Structure 1
């Protein structure tokens, strides 16, 4: 027994030494460092396998390859926007302008070269059936190109309907390019897009691997959902392609999400983002700027917006900065919808300051998990928000997947980024930040309608939770920096 004990202690010491060397080998924030050290020591040996797939950061070579694709078609527009800022501090129209929104537009322009586009026509979809009905209709009308990114693309009824529409346009000579995430669409099957490819279209995985069971980049997910049609119509938001997004899965029930359809120059920013992602996913077939990809579009509506993207290829965390800016400049109200509420210390403190400043902070989360571990962490942080005086609503009419934030009924963000550390740092995300009181008020209306189908999380409810449930929430929170 003495020999066995000595061997065990030696192995644990060796595991601890290797854990320290492994974690400190790559630069990361303190919270993530401690979370990985905890995991590697709680699960000796097994923890290293998890780290091998989920803990390694993108190599400098891969980051360089991704960054080399930046800003296709955008530099001229960015310079024109900066010149406009120098001449006129009022970036927005008189009816939509104030000091805060000008500062926010400038933040994105400087930090991520996200151009401010005026006069867009924006439609909001909160129901999957309506969204896909319109999307398929738009696809069939495509004349030059269809560019598409989805985190999840399923081989089911709606997936086949979308594929059929893509095949129809490819057969007509329209350029059809599809990117799907290697992890999110892992169940798609290798032959799903075969007919599309025979007709001249292309479909490629983002950060895929020759060996499906070994993918060292699996932790870096392209969580974006983008469709660009002829450079004139764009889609961005929370819906993926699958029957569950139409409420056809009993596990989730009705699927509540939010998606945008954009007409106007905002589409050009989505186009640029797609081209960058395509060139990163398919480096041997790089796309370049053409006038067909970036047609000049006149005024279509009244919405001014910026398309902002973020990902692990940069330390800036642009979308998180946008959320922080919105929270910090709110004067009256903050409405947030997110399926995962796992904020870092900066976001948590900003929300706490807002609540203590008398601002009406409302947060809505689902009543059920699609990822149990993350959901337990979400409930932990939701409890924190209740304790400081925020109002947390549990959506009770199916599954809430919407990623939105509105402040003061004036500025609204809708996109793919959740209020969690993964979306801030590890996923490739994209959001539309809109400076339009009408759009903001419409989103607030949707939020208030959802409140009728939700219940308020109270201290009484939290006090009635079992010790085991509270333990799972606290334990899950320990790993929130690496979830």
Structure 2
């Protein structure tokens, strides 16, 4: 019996090593998977089958390169034909730090600077959904919606019914949702929309299934584009909890942007790419001018920004690199809000260097978990960063879900990407990086307001926790690269 057990252990160990090293990945994730496979022989391999295999993006995104090239040519032509100074002159007028960030995204994400935008910051569910519903009801030609979560609850039904009404009126409606993030919402929920000519699809639904075992890569983006002229991007999803209707979370604190101007082109482009990768039999014509109205009509304000995406279809980790560059550029302040704080070594080093260089580094996290294992890892990293003089606050007035960064007086980021491994490497994310003093001031004022409802965490407070709590935090931290 002992010999059989020894043989099983040896075979499991060999298979674990061969399985993990068969695909290239970073060292931290490699060791985390090896630990899981070694200590949970059967369960570990089952988990790896669903969550550990890398994305076969060449097969999944066969159309994306061609679609992206066609849209890029169209958008560039529209931008050049638009009124006002050229993009080059616009970029030259910005600060050196802003120009360096713009150049970074142009190189690693092929993301041009979007000029002449009007941006409204929305930080409560009531305001966001009022703006969203009003904008949807005003749609005359197209509505494109992409959310990680689209629940079939009271709010979800209300939004769906608005979409049904607009589809009946002849508006071309497309809805893309993540099947895991929208658990419980099936195709039947969207049947009334489809019955009147609308379209709805789960993200990569023909590819991500139990046969292919690709359940670990989620569409975490939140994009809405109406008539190609108004867009939304940020942290809110569709569901009652985002209006504070769930007792478990109470008040829901999030941040979203309403955008009009040339940046909407890029939100539209990313939606079209995601839709065509998912609904292969209902592909949208990416160069249809209906989706990209004349820039002269679209120009609304003075805000400069870039729409940046990242995901497992690329090894560049574009949004993470943007976060790191923002931290590096900070001279006075770097204020971060995130529900999940599980940074990798490069991000931790950037935060520590900034704090030890005299930058006011603050990080605000929730006071409660929505995913217990992830929250224990968040607590561990909050403790470690507090040791380096970084101010860590826990938001006390409900659940903090905002993903924002404010740097000095003129740089900011708002989007869907959390400050964790999953958003950096595994999820499909989208963020707006903004170069505008007024928007940054608005975000900073909101941050200061949130601080009045937050509690500063101290190293002494962390160290007074029970040994069992500290053990759970350390254990969660070991698996943080694959959470």
TM-based fold match above 0.5: yes
C-alpha separation in 2, matches of 1:473 and 1:324:
25
Answer yes or no: is the 8 Å Cα contact 1:72–1:272 preserved in 2. Answer: no
> Residue 65 of structure 1 aligns with which residue?
62
2:18 to 16, 21, 31: 21
C-alpha separation in 2, matches of 1:158 and 1:215:
33
C-alpha separation in 2, matches of 1:367 and 1:65:
43
> Residue 74 of structure 1 aligns with which residue?
72
Answer yes or no: is the 8 Å Cα contact 1:180–1:205 preserved in 2. Answer: yes
Q: CA deviation at 1:410?
A: 1.2
Any idea what SS the aligned residue of 1:257 has?
strand
Any idea what SS the aligned residue of 2:290 has?
coil
Q: Relative to structure 1, is the Cα distance of residues 334 and 398 closer, same or farther in structure 2, using a 3 angstrom cutoff?
A: same
Residue 35 (1) aligns with residue 32 (2): yes
Any idea what SS the aligned residue of 2:133 has?
helix
> Residue 310 of structure 1 aligns with which residue?
310
Residue 461 (1) aligns with residue 461 (2): yes
Q: CA deviation at 1:59?
A: 1.5
Once the two structures are superposed, residues 7-28 of structure 1 have per-residue CA deviations (whole angstroms, 9 ceiling, x without a partner) of: 1111111110110111011111
Answer yes or no: is the 8 Å Cα contact 2:255–2:403 preserved in 1. Answer: yes
Any idea what SS the aligned residue of 1:258 has?
strand
> Residue 292 of structure 1 aligns with which residue?
290
Any idea what SS the aligned residue of 1:227 has?
strand
Residue 237 (1) aligns with residue 237 (2): no
C-alpha separation in 1, matches of 2:372 and 2:52:
20
> Residue 144 of structure 2 aligns with which residue?
147
> Residue 278 of structure 2 aligns with which residue?
281
- Count of residues in Structure 1 that have an aligned counterpart in Structure 2: 476
> Residue 344 of structure 2 aligns with which residue?
344
C-alpha separation in 1, matches of 2:349 and 2:208:
42
Q: CA deviation at 1:93?
A: 7.1
C-alpha separation in 2, matches of 1:272 and 1:60:
19
Answer yes or no: is the 8 Å Cα contact 2:303–2:436 preserved in 1. Answer: yes
C-alpha separation in 2, matches of 1:72 and 1:174:
24
Any idea what SS the aligned residue of 1:383 has?
helix
C-alpha separation in 2, matches of 1:176 and 1:150:
14
Once the two structures are superposed, residues 151-191 of structure 1 have per-residue CA deviations (whole angstroms, 9 ceiling, x without a partner) of: 00111111011001000010011100000001111211331
Q: Relative to structure 1, is the Cα distance of residues 74 and 212 closer, same or farther in structure 2, using a 3 angstrom cutoff?
A: closer
Any idea what SS the aligned residue of 2:316 has?
coil
Any idea what SS the aligned residue of 2:24 has?
coil
Any idea what SS the aligned residue of 1:70 has?
helix
C-alpha separation in 1, matches of 2:210 and 2:49:
13
Once the two structures are superposed, residues 324-357 of structure 1 have per-residue CA deviations (whole angstroms, 9 ceiling, x without a partner) of: 1110011000000000011111111000000010
Q: CA deviation at 1:210?
A: 8.7
C-alpha separation in 1, matches of 2:354 and 2:89:
27
Answer yes or no: is the 8 Å Cα contact 2:208–2:215 preserved in 1. Answer: no
CA RMSD in angstroms, aligned pairs only = 2.0
Answer yes or no: is the 8 Å Cα contact 2:206–2:278 preserved in 1. Answer: no
Correspondences of 1:252-263 after superposition (within 5 Å):
252-263=249-260
1:132 to 120, 129, 136: 129
C-alpha separation in 2, matches of 1:339 and 1:71:
35
Question: Tell me, which stretches of 5 or more residues in structure 1 are unaligned?
Answer: none
Q: Which moved more, 1:59-68 or 1:117-126?
A: 59-68
Answer yes or no: is the 8 Å Cα contact 1:121–1:262 preserved in 2. Answer: yes
TM-score (norm. length: structure 1): 0.95
Runs ≥4 residues deviating over 6 A: 79-82
Any idea what SS the aligned residue of 2:188 has?
coil
> Residue 83 of structure 2 aligns with which residue?
none
C-alpha separation in 2, matches of 1:214 and 1:334:
44
Correspondences of 1:363-374 after superposition (within 5 Å):
363-374=363-374
Q: Relative to structure 1, is the Cα distance of residues 90 and 103 closer, same or farther in structure 2, using a 3 angstrom cutoff?
A: farther
Any idea what SS the aligned residue of 1:45 has?
helix
Q: Which moved more, 1:366-375 or 1:64-73?
A: 64-73
> Residue 429 of structure 2 aligns with which residue?
429
> Residue 414 of structure 1 aligns with which residue?
414
Answer yes or no: is the 8 Å Cα contact 2:338–2:364 preserved in 1. Answer: yes
Answer yes or no: is the 8 Å Cα contact 1:266–1:306 preserved in 2. Answer: yes
Q: CA deviation at 1:70?
A: 2.7
Answer yes or no: is the 8 Å Cα contact 1:81–1:115 preserved in 2. Answer: no
Q: CA deviation at 1:285?
A: 2.5
C-alpha separation in 2, matches of 1:66 and 1:388:
46
Answer yes or no: is the 8 Å Cα contact 1:207–1:218 preserved in 2. Answer: no
Q: CA deviation at 1:91?
A: 3.7
C-alpha separation in 2, matches of 1:446 and 1:179:
31
